[in-house]
Amino acid sequence: MYRKQLFLLSLLLMLLQTAAFAQNNKLRVEPSFWWTGMKDSNLQLMLHGNNISTMQPVFNYAGVEVKDVVKVNSPNYLFLNLNISGAKPGKFNIQLKQGNKTVHRYSYELKQRAAGSANRQGFTSSDVMYLITPDRFANGNPKNDSVKDMADKLNRNDRSGRHGGDIAGIIQNLDYIKDMGFTALWVNPVLENDQPKVSYHGYSTTDYYKVDPRFGSNEEYLELSKQAKQRDIKLVMDMVLNHIGSKHWWMDDLPTEDWLNFQDEYKTTNHRREAIQDPHASEYDYQLQTEGWFVESMPDLNQENELLATYLIQNTLWWIEYADLGGIRMDTYSYPDPEFMSEWTRRVMDEYPNFNIVGEEWSLNPAIVSYWQRGKKNYNGYVSYLPSLMDFPVQNAMVEALRDDEKSWDTGWLKLYNTLATDFLYPEPENLVVFPDNHDMDRIYTQLNQDADLTKQAIAYILTTRGIPQLYYGTEILMHNSEKGDHGIIRTDFPGGWSGDKVNAFTGKGLTKEQLDMQQYMKKLLNWRKDAKVIHTGKLTHYAPYKGVYVYFRHNGPEKVMVILNKNELPYELELEKFAPQLQGVKQTTDVISGKAYNLNQSKLALPIKAPLILELK
């Protein structure tokens, strides 16, 4: 009996050791597959496995040339630099040999690139983006709410916890998004964030090639893209190249001694973005801006490491190709190494000339923001290839203009007028992304002190000014945050996205009269804008605000739209004489919002109180 127990125990230990060896000896290859027909025929493979630097990579596939094999500080990595210019689609085995013994065998595939992939059209000024925080939009698959071996479990009672929204929930509500009139979908990061807590937002990546299982899978993300495309909606991926999560698999085995900035001594960024352009900036401030960590749970990547830089560039191309993306929103654009960001955007735009990328540079100074746009002639010679940026200066000026009174010569609408007047700083102001709010700031309804009339004017402006509009989920139903600055409340659950919700914004059930009114208001404007080409590409001419009224025209030859934003709470008549050059020959017009007809063949126009007018001049 004793011998039998001893035998069984020995067998169990052997099986456990074998399993542990197999786990430790597992080979990871990234990217796991690639495509033929890419403009850049170079391909870098990152191989990771136990002590593989002592092994010899061997394979034989026509058209695939090994340029070099790079070993690094960690013995568990090999980097293969290949040229695949002559290769055809197909599979081949990569073997890692120790002498004559094959220790690892990996079946690698070069896929056929989709026809026309290089010429894909990115988001443009004809689009309007709907921004979604996936954990807070809709729970389409409750089975993935919590995942075994992932620490951050479902907790809807915690404003900073995971609430269960997922990719399936977005797919199930694509018809709502389409019917509202949106044509592009920016989804906050969906890649794995296997952090111990506050992982729902997605900005602490722990695997660059894997969708977080609590959101779904790579295949579901691809399905989202396909389903969106069938509804003429482009998918915009939110990416983070500045930092990773502290539980990224690299952190257990960093490839090199310089994979991270301040790898041996954690330092926090100073957030002094101006130091990059400042001709008087100290080297200390510049370095801390580009190399300091956001927080200790977000290690800062060193993009000056060429192996890492190539890895990040290829990862971007992989997701564009795999998920058939229609654009990228790049988080914290000015925080990584500036030269790397220049090369990253160059490589992406070289591969996809009609693509679009919007970068986040959260500065209220147009001179700072414009520095990063493609075509800008910078004093220090810095060359950028970034097509678009988030227009934070206009967002801030719009809110201040709406909140301020009109009693002084430099308050109210003049703040917005003056900010738009700095468009000469941008090479392509029409390609900036304009927005009333986003996932990182108070809801626009909150910023405007829960004034629905002012919120309507903000939406009217965003949807008719130059640029590419972006609206945050829930703005259409006046979602607000009771505690200002609290991200967990700003990103609150969309009503109707969870089984049992008493209010359902997708159907309108339980919404207040004011919420339904705003939803219909936005739906009307968004669907009108779809076909309003003069808004997409027309020139903007604005007139200096006067007595609480701001007027501008979008015009493209015979096509004209007159936008009147009126903050007056008492009846006001707008004198039309100064607008004569734009109104010549126009006698009657109709307001897009109300459908009401207006007579322009007179000296004054009676304006609706504290409301916008959008007049098509035909």
Known catalytic residues are: 331, 360
Residues 6+ apart with CB under 8 A from 407: none
Are 359 and 388 contacting, i.e. CB atoms less than 8 angstroms apart? yes
Beta carbons of 133 and 491 less than 8 angstroms apart: yes
Residue 252 CB neighbours (<10 A)? 8
Q: Which residues, including other chains, have CB under 8 Å from residue 425's CB and lie 6 or more apart?
A: 366, 367, 370
- What residues contact 145, with CB distance under 8 A and at least 6 apart? 139, 153, 154, 162, 164, 214
- For residue 299, the one-letter residue type is P
Alpha-carbon torsion (516, 561, 422, 344), positive or negative: positive
d(CA 592, CA 583): 17
Reference 336, options 283, 289, 271; nearest CA is 289
Structure tokens at 117: 């992939």
The residue among 143, 164, 160 whose CA lies nearest residue 204 is 160
Q: How far is CA 550 from each of CA 58, 281, 384, rounded to the nearest angstrom?
A: 69, 39, 34
The DSSP bridge pattern shows strands 612-617 and 559-566 to be: antiparallel
Q: How far apart (Å, rounded) are the C-alpha atoms in residues 205 and 218?
A: 15
Which residue is associated with the tokens 């061997």? 58
Contact of 561 with 553, CB cutoff 8 Å = yes
Query: 322: exposed, middle or buried (C-beta count within 10 Å: 0-12, 13-18, 19+)?
Result: middle
The crossing angle, in degrees rounded to 10, of helices 452-464 and 513-530 is: 10
Neighbours of 610 (CB within 10 A): 18
Q: Coil, strand or helix: which one is 526? A: helix
DSSP characters over 255-323: SSTTSBTTSSS--B----GGGGT-TT--HHHHHHHHHSBSSTTSPBB-TTSHHHHHHHHHHHHHHHHHH
- Give 503-508 contacts, CB < 8 A, sequence gap 24+: 505/474, 505/476, 505/477, 506/173, 506/176
Q: Could you say which DSSP state residue 496 is in?
A: T
Those residues with Cβ within 8 angstroms of residue 87's Cβ, 6 or more apart along the chain or in another chain: 36, 61, 62, 63, 64, 110
∠ CA 446-448-451, rounded to 5°: 95
DSSP E strands, 99-255: 101-111, 129-132, 184-187, 191-192, 207-211, 234-239
